[in-house]
Amino acid sequence: MIGGEQKDFDYLAPLFEILGENIILQGPAGAGQHTKLCNQITIATNMIGVTEAIIYAKKAGLDPVRVLDSITTGAAGSWSLSNLAPRMIKGDFAPGFFVKHFIKDMTIALESAREMGLFTPGLALSLELYQELAENGEADSGTQALIKLFEQK
């Protein structure tokens, strides 16, 4: 997710290829940051759905692992569903990405969206839930710890 001039991108491309994969020039300076915020907005609302699905499966008396086997490869499939939902089920809340950093990113995204006059109720709800999770002592947990909040309600 890179923003800048094409000539600079081309010059630095060998370095970018050492640092990662899926390297895409998004546009002028700042475009990479906006793309990162798009990523965080998508993950934020997706994590609510993943969490609700796991809680629902458990409450319905289903084996959540078997449910994941059925839904991860269909239309509901996502990286979070395939990678973080199994960790939720196992009670593994070690951070791949910290709750406190996710809150920072969502706050920036929400402020940016408001500046653009956008309506982002999913993002606002996600931020509110993660802030409550952090207030409950989970700021240094992984984002999949959101399930702890849902289990308390």
Catalytic residue among 7, 36, 90, 104: 36
CB-CB contact of 32 with 26 (8 Å): yes
Q: Active-site residue 36, yes or no?
A: yes
CB atoms within 10 A of CB 99: 23
Burial class (CB in 10 A: 0-12, 13-18, 19+), 138: buried
β-strand pairing of 25-27 with 2-3: parallel
Which are the catalytic amino acids? 36
